[in-house]
Structure 1
């Protein structure tokens, strides 16, 4: 399974962040032993802190909204 998306639940700001990784980001993620280490590199660009989040990675993104 290749990681194409990262979904982050930032519980400090009550924000759901959905990131579609670029090919460059996917390639860069392989350089890390732990995917969470790679997430730390995304913090400045997307405005979150890993320590304040729950996250998941997935190949395809399916969304359901019950609002």
Structure 2
């Protein structure tokens, strides 16, 4: 599975952060043995603290919302 999207739940801010990785970011992520280490390099750019978040990565992205 190629990681194209990262979904982050920042529970300190009550925020969902959705990131579509660029081709350059995907290539960069492949240099890391641990994907979470790669994620830590994105903290400043996307304004989140990994220690305050849970995350998932996925090849495809779909979203469902109820009651909004």
Normalised by the size of structure 2, how large is the TM-score? 0.97
Alignment RMSD, CA only? 0.4
Equivalence for 2:25: 25
Structure 1 position 37, deviation (Å): 0.2
2:51 is equivalent to residue 62 of structure 1? no
- Large movers: runs of 4+ above 2 Å: none
Where structure 1 has 5 or more consecutive residues not aligned to the other structure, the ranges are: none
Where structure 2 has 5 or more consecutive residues not aligned to the other structure, the ranges are: none
SS at match of 1:18: strand
Aligned residues: 67
